[in-house]
């Protein structure tokens, strides 16, 4: 496999750049461009000059990692050079001319997976860590790197293997008296244990999605109640146009903010009212869709005016959604009798509302360090497939069908478990079967 090279730091001028090589010829290639020999020894920092046509182009520090004790499982070299982007590109071109090939996106991570340094679940966790936008996202990603979930998946695999193995051995090798027979009761207990584990993993993993990607919060209300002013108060900027003309906002405006370590995806929607203008009607329809899609609705009411039919219509729309009633314009005489959080968006007095949002977020948080968390929608979908197959087995047992019929469902469940970690392509059930049960010894 060719030795790859790529810039590991952002492509911009800075203090330093890190250029990474990985492959069997990493040390040979680096020694073609240095004034002093780089020793093939792991976890060593060596100082060197880089040469191009006998001319020094940079003074660098070179970190060395010897396979298999590296991130990719191959020989890895990291060049710490000065931080000019032109210089970094020049060094990369020099290394390519000496035998490297430019790495494809994600290729270092792919080689780590191919060399069994990480599995797919851990690769997804690394990607989530890189793309973290809040403290919770960092914690969730590190949960995936802690091996807790990998250990849980391996335990599930072992239980599935035991179910499959007991059935297949008893079917295919009935002459072996030393192979224990599995009872329907024991089989059912093991299958139910797997169902419970699956259900908890799925529920916990779905529950944390808003914590990783952010809580989606829609600001809704009739026109001219201060929705855009509220958005601007949250972001401390004139992001949304504010005017006394009803219907100014005709599309959904989005902003990301961070409250108490949680990313909040704020959506400022068009004012809800009956209108004959086609463009404004489109905005209103998008408002209704936003209410259905978000995690939390901030229903803004103009506290200086009595409730109107439109206010009541919107209250009906959001009554079955998690929502907070926001009484805006608290600096004016209050004419609203309903309860809600009082704010003055125009003067950025929204502390009471911020506390209520934090309270809402606290209800959906939990100790992720004590939970098994899947790192992607792909993995959650695969685990849902596992659960469906196990439920089929449960139904089969409940209806007193022959236990042999469970084999197909269990193999499908096993394939989905292995696909979560990326091990399916290397899975050989027969080899494991003989090794576990020692058939024919």
E strands along 170-316, which residues?
215-220, 253-259, 262-268, 296-302
- Residues sharing a CB contact under 8 Å with residue 109, sequence separation 6 or more, in sequence order: 118, 123, 126, 127
CB-hemisphere CA count at 13 Å for 315?
Answer: 13
What pLDDT does 115 receive? Answer: 93
What pLDDT does 373 receive? Answer: 86
15-19, 287-291, 301-305, 350-354, range with the lowest pLDDT: 287-291
What pLDDT does 185 receive? Answer: 85
The mean pLDDT value for 141-145 works out to: 86
Residue 256: strand, helix, or coil:
strand
The mean pLDDT value for 271-300 works out to: 69
Gyration radius from the chain CA atoms = 30
When pLDDT is cut at 50, 70 and 90, the band that residue 279 belongs to is very low
- Residues sharing a CB contact under 8 Å with residue 243, sequence separation 6 or more, in sequence order: none
Q: Cis omega before residue 274 (within 30°)?
A: no
pLDDT reading at 210 higher than 70 = yes
pLDDT reading at 418 higher than 70 = yes
Q: How far apart are CA 18 and CA 11, in angstroms?
A: 10
Residue 150 Cα distances to 153, 183, 417, 419, 421, angstroms: 5, 29, 11, 12, 8
Q: What is the value of pTM for the model shown?
A: 0.71
Of 71, 70, 160, which Cα lies nearest the Cα of 427?
Answer: 160
Residue 328: strand, helix, or coil:
strand
């Amino acid at each position: 496999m060719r030795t790859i090279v790529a810039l590991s730091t952002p492509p911009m001028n800075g203090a330093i750049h890190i250029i990474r090589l990985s492959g069997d010829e990493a040390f040979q290639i680096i020694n073609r461009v240095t004034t002093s020999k780089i020793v093939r020894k792991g976890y060593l920092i060596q100082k060197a000059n880089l040469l191009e046509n006998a001319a020094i182009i940079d003074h660098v520090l070179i970190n060395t990692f010897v396979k298999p004790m590296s991130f990719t499982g191959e020989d890895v070299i990291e060049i710490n050079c000065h931080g000019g982007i032109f210089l970094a590109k020049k060094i990369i071109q020099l290394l390519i001319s000496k035998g490297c090939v430019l790495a494809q996106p994600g290729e270092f991570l792919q080689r780590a997976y191919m060399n069994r340094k990480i599995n797919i679940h851990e690769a997804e966790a690394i990607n989530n860590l890189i793309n973290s936008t809040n403290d919770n996202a960092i914690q969730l990603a590190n949960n995936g790197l802690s091996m807790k979930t990998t250990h849980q998946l391996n335990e599930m695999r072992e239980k599935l293997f035991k179910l499959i193995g007991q059935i297949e051995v008893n079917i295919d090798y009935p002459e072996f008296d030393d192979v224990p027979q599995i009872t329907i009761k024991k089989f059912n207990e093991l299958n139910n244990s797997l169902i419970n584990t699956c259900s908890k993993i799925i529920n916990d993993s779905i529950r944390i999605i808003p914590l990783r990607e952010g809580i989606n919060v829609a600001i809704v209300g009739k026109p001219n109640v201060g929705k855009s002013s509220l958005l601007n108060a949250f972001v401390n900027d004139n992001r949304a146009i504010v005017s006394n003309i009803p219907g100014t906002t005709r599309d959904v405006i989005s902003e990301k903010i961070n409250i108490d370590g949680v990313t909040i995806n704020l959506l400022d929607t068009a004012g809800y009212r009956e209108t004959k203008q086609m463009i404004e009607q489109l905005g209103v329809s998008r408002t209704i869709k936003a209410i259905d899609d978000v995690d939390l609705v901030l229903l803004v009411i103009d506290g200086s005016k009595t409730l109107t039919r439109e206010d009541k219509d919107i209250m009906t729309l959001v009554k079955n959604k998690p929502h907070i009633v926001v009484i805006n314009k608290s600096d004016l005489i209050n004419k609203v009798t309903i309860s809600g959080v009082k704010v003055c968006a125009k003067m950025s007095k929204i502390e009471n509302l911020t506390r209520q949002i934090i309270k809402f977020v606290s209800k959906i948080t939990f100790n992720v360090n004590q939970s098994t968390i899947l790192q992607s929608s792909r993995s959650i979908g695969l685990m849902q497939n596992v659960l469906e197959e196990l439920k089929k087995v449960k139904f089969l047992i409940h209806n007193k069908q022959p236990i042999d019929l469970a084999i197909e469902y269990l193999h499908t469940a096993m394939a989905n478990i292995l696909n979560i970690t990326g091990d399916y392509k290397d899975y050989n059930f027969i080899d494991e079967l003989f090794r576990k049960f020692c058939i024919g010894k």
